[in-house]
Structure 1
Amino acid sequence: MEAIITVVGFLGAGKTTLLKFLISSFIDKGWDPFVILNDYENANIDAQQLSNKLELKAIKALSGSCICCTGIMELRDTVNKLPERLNGITLIEANGTTDACSLMEFLGVGLLKRYLPPIQISVVDVNNWQRRGEHNELERNQIQISSLIILTHLEKVTKQRELVVIEDIKKYNPTGKLMHLENLDVTLFPELKSSSNTVKKLDHKKAHWSSCSTDLPNLPSSKAIYSICAELPKSILRVKGCTIIDGEKTYTYFERNPDGEVFVRPFNGIPITGSKLLTIGPGSTPNLLKHAIKISLEKK
């Protein structure tokens, strides 16, 4: 039977880093992974970032819907239509505001008999755990029924902070295994069982955030990327973009995490939707994005 693993966690916690690790590890062990990516806006950008590890035909992007409610039928239908593979395994990366408990409740119903019950892995940013203000409840929800919890961003914290976070996590999920990414061995996955924890239901509206995107012109330099990110308010918890820097032949990808840290790196290939700026978080509107781009270009 084929295993299904969902990867959940708050925006910027490190889900995609974990996903890349899992893809490489499963391939090395002789498995044939298929990846489903979900995001509010243009999940195809994230899908293309994985194409150096998997063929695009083994990656499915689901954009613009919440897979823990309105998008669950599309997700379940996608999983059920996957071709049977020798040593197949399906990996699902949920968007960073997913109601993880509802996702597992809905996904576990209506799957073909060739699939094992889904297993959930949660990624926890130890540095920012429960420092999300009004979104703390959502972050707690995302670890309650995870069979495995991966701790990330440990290089930013003391050992004491790590121990405090671990103790807090165990209050909400006493049965989940906690592990550092570098210690993760995928051969242990067959031992994981679906969580039987009793969960505290989340008001599902708290998992529904505004998001939007707009076309992004070529930028004069990488400084413009940092300027755009600085212009967008802190209420925007996730910023992503892909564009051409003047004088360069390849595309550049960038993202701003909820803590304000900006990362810039080469993009793998050419974005099929063209250059874009995308945001997730309260207050996301096309006019806000266009204003940030305009101000940035005027500073050149």
Structure 2
Amino acid sequence: MKDVYLFSGFLGSGKTSMLTDVIRQLKEKNLKPAVIMNELGKLPFDSQAVEKDIPLKEMLEGCICCSGAEKTEAQIQSLLMDNEFDVLIIETTGAAHPVEALDAVYSPLFAEKLNVKGIVTVADSKLWLNRETLTPQVRSLFMEQIRHAHLLLANKTDLLTEAEQARVVYELQGYNPHAFILQTTNGRVPLRLLEDLKATAQVDKSDILKSPIAAMHLGSRLVEFKGIDFTQQQFEDWVRSLPNTIYRMKGYVPIEGVRNPMLFQYAYGMVQWLPEYVKMPAKLVIIGENVGDVNIIGIH
């Protein structure tokens, strides 16, 4: 399995500085990185920071989340097929919601090949102190990126007094008690902190996940169905029983009387079914908070 890191953070927070420094550290350990970089503009300015010998996929004029998820899946599939690498780094735009960005990483087709270590969010410490100056919508996104981080960099601390630095750490810890918080300048983070992350639940290849999994903050879970068919009604009844901390599900669900497992997608309460004309693996990826607590057996 290849380790995957998702770099999140608001516009101008220092993500690209962190990316170039992490790439340097990986190379020093003789690990080969690959990068997927998402930018909102037409020109790949940030990608110029990535050296020519590193496999790089760019997504311009769009978001890695939402409609871009299928493109991201194709980019990951292409990297897995055509390139040798040890670690995949996905840098999202500053306008990407971390849950949607995480959703884009997962496909039941290659979920077992990737080990998502976690979301690393870079937060501009000065902006945190001045967050009330942001519009409500922008402030909400800024806060969501911080709330869902597994590792949180309080960046640009050189611009703050000691008292302000202490206040930032105290407030961030209160807002996201799950994350390890590191005060940084220029987005510098020791590689060992990234390597110590373990964000996602492990894959269980039994008919259906039965063993308890330690509760995680924001994570994922891969369910594999073997010799089990459901009616759409049974499955949707189970979906409706889920807590609202389950944000996304996608995969292929075996339905009684239907030849191939159907493509199933769920996002924030909305369900979509699509027929598949090719027999796809009957697997489902669940993304949310504390996914280990979800009663999978209740599907029956």
Q: TM-score when scaled to structure 2?
A: 0.60
Q: 5+ residue gaps in structure 1?
A: 202-300
Q: Aligned equivalents of 2:218 and 2:24: distance in 1?
A: 33
State the Cα distance separating 1:171 from its structure 2 match.
2.8
Deviations 1:202-241 (A, max 9, x none): xxxxxxxxxxxxxxxxxxxxxxxxxxxxxxxxxxxxxxxx
Q: For 2:150, which of 138, 147, 152 is the aligned residue?
A: 147
Structure 1 residues 144 and 185, CA gap change in structure 2 (3 angstroms): same
| CA RMSD between the two structures | 2.4
How far does residue 147 in structure 1 lie from its aligned partner after superposition? 1.2
Q: Give distance in 1, aligned partners of 2:133 and 2:14.
A: 16
Distance 2:69 2:117 in 1: 14
- Once the 2 structures are TM-superposed, how far is the Cα of residue 131 of structure 1 from its aligned partner? 4.4
2:67 counterpart SS class? coil
Structure 2: gaps spanning 5 or more residues: 201-215, 220-243, 246-300
Aligned to 1:18: 18
Say if 1:49 and 1:87 are closer, same or farther in 2 by CA, change over 3 A: closer
Q: Say if 1:27 and 1:45 are closer, same or farther in 2 by CA, change over 3 A.
A: same
Q: What does 1:70-149 align with in structure 2 at a 5 Å threshold?
A: 70-83=67-80, 88-110=86-108, 112=110, 113-129=112-128, 130-134=131-135, 135-149=138-152
1:123 is aligned with what amino acid? V
Question: 3-state DSSP class of the match of 2:193?
Answer: helix
Deviation at 1:86, TM superposition (A): 6.1
Call closer, same or farther: CA 1:186–1:193 in 2, change over 3 Å: same
Percent identity between the aligned chains? 22
CA distances 1:38-80 after superposition (whole Å, capped 9, x unpaired): 01113522212323xx42x611111011112111111122112
For normalisation by structure 1, the TM-score amounts to: 0.60
Count of aligned pairs between the two proteins: 198
Return the offset for 1:180.
Answer: 3.0
Give, in whole Å, the separation in 1 of the partners of 2:102 and 2:114.
14
1:169 CA drift (Å): 1.6
The SS at the match of 2:73 is: helix
Distance 1:198 1:82 in 2: 25
User: Equivalent residue of 1:20, what SS?
Assistant: helix
Matches within 5 A, 1:81-230: 81-83=78-80, 88-110=86-108, 112=110, 113-129=112-128, 130-134=131-135, 135-181=138-184, 184-194=189-199, 196-197=216-217
Seen in structure 2, the aligned counterparts of structure 1 residues 198 and 18 have a Cα distance that, compared at 3 Å, is closer
Please identify runs of 4+ aligned residues in structure 1 that moved more than 4 A. 84-87, 198-201
- Paired residue secondary structure (1:44): coil
Query: For the structure 1 residues 59 and 50, does the alpha-carbon distance in structure 2 shift closer, same or farther, using more than 3 Å as the test?
Result: same
| Residues 87-132 of structure 1: per-residue CA shift (max 9 Å, x gap) | 6101111111111122223423435121113521000110111245
Distance 1:152 1:23 in 2: 18
SS at match of 2:44: helix
Query: Contact 1:76–1:110 at 8 Å: present in 2 too?
Result: no
Offset at residue 198 of structure 1 (A): 6.6
